[in-house]
Amino acid sequence: MALRKTAGYLWNPISLIGLILAVAGTGLIIAFLAMEMITGFDHPYIGLLTYFAFPGMLIFGLLLVPVGAWQVRQRRRSEDEDIPPYPRMDFNDPHKRRLFIFFSLATIIFVLIVSVASILGFHFTESTTFCGELCHTVMEPEHTAWKNSPHAKVKCVECHVGPGAQWFVKAKISGLRQVWAVLAHTYPTPIETPIENLRPARDTCEHCHWPEKFYAGRQKVFYHYAPNKENTPRETNLLINIGGTPKSPNAHGIHWHIGTEVYYIARDRKRLDIPYITVKQKDGTFVEYMSTEKPITKDEIAKSKKRLMDCTDCHNRPTHIYKSPGQEMDEHIVSGLIDPSLPFIKKLGVEILEKPYKTKEEAMTAIGAKLPEYYAKNFPEVAKSKAAGINQAVDQIKDIYSRNFFPEMKVSWNTYPNHIGHFYTPGCFRCHDGKHKTASGKVISKDCNLCHTVIGQKQENIPAGKDVKEFVHPVDIGDEIMKTNCSDCHMAGDEDVPGGGKH
């Protein structure tokens, strides 16, 4: 009987297990895809199952089927010599015809399901869920910061991979290595930065930002509150001279560095210590600036790698932005989330956040206890009349902690210096400190009006209504304002002191 003989090939334990696996895999893929579509529930582990585990099961099952059939054939060949090695394809036999149609349809459906799963699987590996949430602890700092940044709608791969096949392959290979590092727990804490193989920024950033079209200027108000009982407000209103590249109409300003070839040598991994800068002139010659404080030898210059400045030399934290306790407290007070009528709230919040905590739980308990305790002891009448405000401040400060401190990864707000300004970290003053000179004495300017102009300022030491043209420091520090970098006083600690940083 033809029917029994052909079907008989599949009638063995291995092929049957294979068939069951294949059918179950298919069913599960369809069920999970349907569930995701209907409920909108999206979880990294579900993604792993739907796009990798179940299709794997389906393919493995289908591979088992011929393995079993081959074994049966071997057995039959030895028993019964006249069975041909392959089934005879005679389409006049209605059974063979049906069998053929069945297999053709099954193949088409199989190919369809596997293609849909692999396309979706590809999208899944490109998603922020995959990059940012799957290895939750490892990527928590970067993912959390990204979620609250101007780039929250830009996917990880748009900056970390960018377009083009070559970088795609590189990224998938390094991605495999990273998955292994997570499984084997060999990743560094904190994860080191800058990433050696980060794609040159001009390939990625410029896909969305077009340097020739930068705004000429941008107005920005910096709000602060004094660490006193009244939390006295201080405001600096600056016009930041962004400017375009040398090719654009508004060629002068901060973005002059883009489109001009500026090369530099950094002595440290974080690129904070820059002893040497060289700028290509229009005539093709170079002008070299050298640090007068930490001089560099000719030999060192010849040996060191010179880096061409790009977007990430200033915007190194365009999305993984962590903020100091001081800045967070200031922003929460100005936006009304923390009540400024609570005595010393600015100072207190900063102090509580700066204390080193071993775990997030320890921090949450301490924040929840210390603030109410302080007011109950020092300002009992405030503790009673403003209980709601104090509780809200506790919640906000906990939230600030969870966005800027990640004890599991040994990351806190100042682990990765942000180069965009010069207040908490040297930033622009790595070169613009007035101490980098050419042989003929030309300096890279530290002029306070080179990059921004003061539109206005309010502060306890400025008479109300006075028109301010130059920045007035809240306490008189004499000529230190020009001689010392702001960050030397304003960043108390470094990464070894979690939360270090005074203001």
Q: Looking at beta carbons only, is 386 or 436 nearer to ligand HEC? A: 436
492 binds ligand HEC (CB under 6 A): no
Q: Nearer Cβ to ligand HEC, position 386 or 452?
A: 452
Please select the residue that binds ligand HEC; options are 17, 481, 493, 495, rule is CB under 6 A.
481
Candidates 235, 474, 234, 232; CA nearest to 347 is: 232
Q: Are 421 and 330 in contact (CB under 8 A)?
A: no
Contact residue for ligand HEC among 11, 122, 215, 286 (CB under 6 A): 215
- Is 191 a binder of ligand HEC (CB under 6 A)? yes
**Can residue 240 be called a binding residue for ligand HEC (CB under 6 A)?**
yes
Q: 213 CB contacts (<8 Å, ≥6 apart)?
A: 244, 248
**Least gap, CB of 344 to ligand HEC (angstroms):** 12
Number of neighbours of residue 301 by Cβ within 10 angstroms: 15
Could you tell me which stretch among 99-107, 238-246, 374-382, 493-501 binds ligand HEC (CB under 6 A)? 238-246
Residue 251 or 382: the one with the smaller Cβ distance to ligand HEC is 251
Q: Which residue stretch of 48-56, 360-368, 397-405, 480-488 sits at the interface with ligand HEC (rule: CB under 6 A)? A: 480-488
Q: Does 480 bind ligand HEC (CB under 6 A)?
A: yes
Comparison of 87 and 194: residue with beta carbon closer to ligand HEC: 194
Q: Is 444 in the site for ligand HEC (CB under 6 A)?
A: yes
C-beta closer to ligand HEC: residue 77 or 220: 220
Which residues, numbered 376-415, are part of the site for ligand HEC (CB under 6 A)? none
Residues 407, 404: Cα–Cα separation, whole Å:
10
CA distance 266 to 272: 7
CB of 69 to ligand HEC, least distance (A): 46
Q: How far is the CB of 195 from ligand HEC (least distance, A)?
A: 5
Of 127-156, binders to ligand HEC (CB under 6 A) are 128, 131-132, 139, 142-143, 146, 150-151, 154, 156
Q: What type of residue is 240?
A: I
Q: CB of 346: closest distance to ligand HEC in angstroms?
A: 7
Torsion on CA atoms 26, 28, 32, 37, rounded to nearest 10: 40
Token pair in block for residue 460: 């306890």
Residue 345 binds to ligand HEC (criterion: CB under 6 A):
no
Distance CA 25, CA 269 (A): 48
Angstrom distance (rounded) from CA 283 to CA 300: 26
How far is CA 24 from each of CA 41, 56, 58, rounded to the nearest angstrom?
A: 22, 11, 8
Q: In whole angstroms, give the CA distance from residue 292 to residue 354.
A: 35
Contact window for ligand HEC (CB under 6 A) among 15-23, 32-40, 157-165, 491-499: 157-165
The verdict on 472 binding ligand HEC (CB under 6 A) reads: no
Residues 6+ apart with CB under 8 A from 249: none
- Taking the C-alpha atoms of residue 385 and residue 381, their distance in angstroms, rounded to an integer, is 6
Stretch of residues binding ligand HEC (CB under 6 A), selected from 40-48, 82-90, 124-132, 390-398: 124-132
Between CA 178 and CA 187 the distance in angstroms is: 8
Regarding 455 and contact with ligand HEC (CB under 6 A), the answer is no
CA distance 101 to 107: 10
503 near ligand HEC, rule: CB under 6 A: yes
Binding to ligand HEC (CB under 6 A) within 270-329 occurs at: 274, 277, 279, 289, 309-320, 326
Q: CA dihedral defined by 352, 354, 360, 363, rounded to 10 degrees?
A: -20
